[in-house]
Chain A
């Protein structure tokens, strides 16, 4: 879902930049409010985990691959704004140092994998919490967050053929329309990468609950 440079029309990424900028400023402020000596270790570790988990490419039938994001974990623990900031920070480092995702289209990648995944995961968790078993809620939060992000990516990629053709009638930007991008991008996230994000959310949330409970027990004893 890391869209590269050149794949989107300037109208697309300039619009996205105007939308993302105020959101990123707000997300940064929320993160600055939340971060302190106590929250620093967990917040930074889970942000770093999102960087690492995105390198973990999972092959799927058809010869392509994809990965989890780790957005739901941050969203459930720290809220959607902080999660969106942390994922966007990861995406920025990936674009700047590793050329993974274009810097010019950073705002689009931030809006999809950062904001959409975090907010959808957060509200799905909020809505389902205490209505089902924790593990199922964690899984569904992760799954729905990444699937929602894939819908945004599929729509943005899929409208590109409408935004410019050259003299030969060839598309200038991303060449496939919605009838291809929706089934391919959203389909693969529903079937595969959503499961990866769901399972990662479940396992890491269990791990975090365990270590924070242990910490409480230790401080209660002393």
Chain B
């Protein structure tokens, strides 16, 4: 592994390790509320929001993994996200090579 790649790996591992700090923020993002939160703000839930269903089964909703603590869930989710990004990018690189 070149030095360049070692630094990048180190950089990503530090970034992943820091993600549980994001749990300090208790409030969610403005405008990304759950139906309960909207209900408490407005006394009603807009129809489309009430009836919203995800198009696919969500494997890890809100980065929370069943039976794991929120810190562990966050770390595993971050690692999984990083691996998925690398897998897709590797797939594209393969496609690009085949095209040449």
Contact = CB atoms under 8 A, between A and B. Distances in A.
Interface of A: 1-7, 9, 28, 31-33, 35-37, 40-45, 47-49, 51-53, 55-59, 62-67, 89-90, 93-94, 96-100, 102-104, 153, 157, 164, 166, 168, 170-176, 181, 184-185, 188, 207, 211-212, 214-215, 218
B68 interface: no
Contacts of B56: 96, 103
Contacts of A171: 46
Contact of B96 (A1, A32, A45, A212): A32
Contact of A98 (B38, B77, B86, B95): B77
Contacts of A63: 26-27
Q: How many residues of B sit at the interface, in one of the four size bands?
A: 35 or more
Nearest to A210: B7
B12 A52 contact: yes
Contacts of B38: 175
A2 B63 CA distance: 14
A157 B46 CA distance: 13
B63 A52 contact: no
B52 A41 contact: no
Contacts of A36: 93, 96
B93 A45 contact: no
B82 A97 contact: no
B5 A94 contact: no
Contact of B4 (A41, A98, A102, A173): A41
A55 B12 contact: no
Contacts of B85: 44, 47-48, 51, 89-90, 93
